[in-house]
């Protein structure tokens, strides 16, 4: 499911590591304070399922994580092509916002992918780690970590979001253009599909 690619922060000219092994991914991310888990995939949950269906399907996992981490707010965010005439505008605006490097001063960024995919880019200790998350993957980015997120040019995902603070998603943007120097979601997702085809 997950694919981790790491480069020097100077650019993607050389690859430090590239792995789809969950054990190796966890071992790389844990020293960075990044929480990485894989939850059971509920095959009976539609890709575009609403909040009620998602909460019912993943209730035990949500309750466990909330108790462990003391989250006060949990919600479901979905963005899918379809009959919504506002989708192109909403998708473009969301991508532009999340694609800028930022930090969260008062909260972690914790997401579980119910469906679809997205790439979290973690800019830590002179390296950029691209974590391509898919259905069943949970990633927790610690507060204060420089990062950005790409959902692709045609986003299609549903994610559970966990917050310690009631304010929800509040970012401090670094002003860096670093995100423009690294492969985007679509490039990484296409490489992931080629890997699957070759397996």
- Token pair for 194: 């080629």
pLDDT tens-digit map of 1-33: 689 999 999 999 999 999 999 999 999 999 999
What value, to the nearest 5°, has the Cα angle with vertex 172 and ends 169 and 174? 140
According to the annotation, is 80 in a ligand binding site?
A: no
Q: What percentage of the chain exceeds 90 in pLDDT? A: 80
In the predicted model, is pLDDT for residue 135 greater than 70?
yes
Pick the CATH number of 3-198 from 2.40.170.20, 3.30.420.40, 2.60.120.10, 3.40.50.1010: 2.60.120.10
CA distance readout (Å), 30 to 7, 26, 89:
17, 6, 36
Check whether 104 is labelled as a binding-site residue.
yes
Report field, pTM of the whole predicted structure over 0.85: yes
Domain boundaries, the chain: 3-198
102 is in an annotated binding site: yes
Q: If you write DSSP's letter for every residue of 5-19 in order, what string do you get?
A: EEEETT-TTS-SEEE
């Amino acid at each position: 499911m997950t694919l981790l690619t790491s480069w020097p922060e100077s650019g993607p000219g050389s690859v430090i590591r590239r792995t789809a092994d969950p054990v190796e991914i966890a071992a790389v991310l844990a020293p960075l304070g990044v929480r990485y888990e894989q939850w059971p995939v509920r095959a009976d949950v539609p890709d575009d399922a609403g909040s009620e269906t998602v909460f019912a399907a993943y209730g035990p996992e949500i309750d466990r994580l909330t108790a462990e981490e003391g989250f006060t707010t949990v919600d479901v965010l979905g963005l899918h092509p379809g009959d919504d005439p506002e989708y192109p505008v909403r998708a473009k605006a969301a991508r532009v916002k999340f694609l800028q490097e930022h930090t969260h001063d008062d909260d972690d960024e914790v997401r579980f992918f119910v469906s679809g995919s997205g790439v979290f880019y973690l800019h830590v200790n002179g390296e950029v780690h691209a974590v391509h998350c898919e259905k069943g993957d949970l990633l927790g980015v610690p507060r204060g970590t420089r990062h950005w997120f790409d959902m692709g040019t045609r986003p299609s995902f549903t994610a559970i979001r966990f917050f310690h603070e009631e304010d929800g998603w509040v970012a401090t943007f670094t002003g860096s253009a670093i995100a423009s120097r690294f492969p985007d979601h679509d490039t990484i997702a296409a490489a992931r599909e080629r890997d699957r085809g070759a397996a």
